[in-house]
Amino acid sequence: ETGVTQTPRHLVMGMTNKKSLKCEQHLGHNAMYWYKQSAKKPLELMFVYSLEERVENNSVPSRFSPECPNSSHLFLHLHTLQPEDSALYLCASSPGTGTSAHNEQFFGPGTRLTVL
């Protein structure tokens, strides 16, 4: 248990569906992240939020839309996805400020997404 939870753990959706992934961290951290993990590729950073403000958007297609209503919760809204978007989507959080450990990221278990 890392203190970061994600729901759902598995999701199958059609290309015309709209769904949302949820992440919650119980660590009191200030920064939260979305990553995409595909087979045989390094983790791809998608979005970074610091103190609920988006500070990074790594050229992610607009069919992925993040939302951070407070420092403990992060959502990824999905619509009109493509089959190549099938992957494990990981949420992480880090302290975000202050000590040298500010960028130690703690990951949730991920949502395994399959787009048909």
Positions that interact with other proteins (CB under 8 A)? 2, 4, 6, 33, 40-43, 45, 48, 56, 90, 92, 100-101, 103-110, 112
- β-bridge partners, 34: 47, 91
* 72 contact partners, CB below 8 Å, separation of at least 6: 24, 25, 26
Q: Is the distance from CB of 48 to CB of 31 less than 8 angstroms? A: yes
Q: How far is the CB of 87 from other proteins (least distance, A)?
A: 13
Q: How far is the CB of 108 from other proteins (least distance, A)?
A: 5
State which residue, 16 or 40, has the beta carbon closest to other proteins: 40
State which residue, 42 or 69, has the beta carbon closest to other proteins: 42
State the distance between the two ends of the chain, measured CA to CA, in whole angstroms.
31
φ/ψ region of 59 (left if φ > 0, alpha if ψ in -120 to 50, else beta) reads left
> Is the CA virtual torsion 91, 94, 66, 68 positive or negative?
positive
State which residue, 66 or 110, has the beta carbon closest to other proteins: 110
State which residue, 6 or 30, has the beta carbon closest to other proteins: 6
Q: How far is the CB of 97 from other proteins (least distance, A)?
A: 13
